[in-house]
Structure 1
C-alpha cells in the first residue's frame, strides 16, 4: 500500500487529465470566455498564455464538455507532415480516413467546405499551435475563410510566437483570450484541492500559510512549476518517512524541505 507521501507525490504528476482539473477563478473565467466565443460568428480565437498556465487541460475540458453538443475536434499535438495535417482535416470533414496512396487536393477540400457553409459548423481546437509550420498555418487561414471551420489557435506567450499569429491571422482573429499564472490564493486553493481529491486531509493541513507563500514565490503561480515543486517536495518527504522518520514532522511541512526541493529543481542555488 502506498503511504501518504507517495499518494501526495502522485497528486502532482503534471498531466492534462480533466479529472484533475481544479476550478480556480482565473481558469473558470478563461473557460467561460472560450465557451462564449465559440457561439459568436467569428472565424478564429487566439488562446494564449505562458507555458504551464493550464491551456491544454482547459482545451481538453472544453472538448470533453462540448463534444456531444457541437461538431468539435481537439488536435493536442501538431502533425509531423503536411500530408498528415491534410489527412486529419479530410477525416474531420468527410468522416472517413484518406484512402491509402492518395493525396488530399486542398482546393477541393476548400470547395467542399464552401458547399456545406451554413449546414455544418466545425470547431477545431489546435493546441501547441506555435509548432505548426507556416505552410500549415496558411492552410488553416484559408479553411477559416470558408466560414465553415472555426479555429481556436492556442499559443505560448512569447514574442516570436505572437508575431507568427499576427503575421498569418491579424485580420482574422477577432477574439483573444489570455490565461495567466494564478494568484497566491488561487494556488493555495489548487494545492489543497489536489490533495483533498486523494483524501490526503492530514497532508493538506500540514502545509501552513508561510509554506504556501514560499511555494508561490518559487513557482510564481505557474501550474507546471507548482506541480514539479510539490512532486519533488513529497518525493523528499517520502524518502525521510521511509528511511529517517525521526527527521520529518508529519504535522507541518518544513521550510527546509521546500528549500531542498527548490535546490534540486534549480529554483534557488546554495
Structure 2
C-alpha cells in the first residue's frame, strides 16, 4: 500500500474522497453551465471530472497506475500491481438531462488480481457507497423479482429475462445506479449483457463484494479486471435470495 505521502488515508478513504470530489465538481458544472445541454454538457462533465480524478490519484497514490474511460490507455498498467479503474461520469445522458439524479462516479482499486477498494458516488443524491462500509440489505418485499433496467432503452435480452422470471422491470439510469439499487434494496437484481468496459463495473462490483454479494459474468464465470483489452461486456449482480432463480433463467435463455 502506497501511503507515504498521505498516511491518514487508506485506499477505501482515497476511493471515497476521489468519488466525492468528482461528484461535487460535476454538480457545480451542471449548475454553472445552465446554457449547456446535450453533448456539450456531457463532454464537459467527462473531461473535467477525468482531469480532477487523475490529478487526485496522482497526488494521493503517485506510484499507482490509472485506467480511466476518458484517458489514453497506458500499457504500463499491465505490469503494475495496483491500478485504479475509474469512470469519471457514468451516465452522461442522465447527467445532461436536468434534473435527473440517476448518474454516478466510479472509483475502484485493483491489486494483484483482486478488487480491494471501491466507491460509487451518486452525487445528485448526496450518496457515496463504499466497499468497506457495508449496510445490511433491507428485507426483500413479497412479490416478483425486481430487475433494474434502462429507463429509456430497455434491452431485449433483459425484457426476455424478465418474461422468463415473471419479473418486474424497474427503470433507472446509469450502470452504477442500477448496481447500487441492488445494494440499497430498490431492486433484487441487475443483469447487463449489452456491452460494457471494466470502468463501467469495477467500482460497482467492488461495492457489491463488500456488501456480501457475488457478482459474476452472465455465464457465471468470474469478473476479471486489468486485462489488456478492458472490454467486459456483461454482468450479474443479485441478492442471495434470488440469485439461483436468476441464474436458472439465464441458463434457459443461453
What range is the shorter-chain TM-score in? under 0.3
* TM-score between the two structures when normalised by the length of structure 1: 0.25
The structure with more helix, counted as a fraction of residues: 1
Which structure has more relative contact order (CA 8 Å, sep 6+)? It is 1
| Bigger-Rg structure (1/2) | 1
TM-score normalised to structure 2 length = 0.27
Pick the structure with more strand per residue.
2
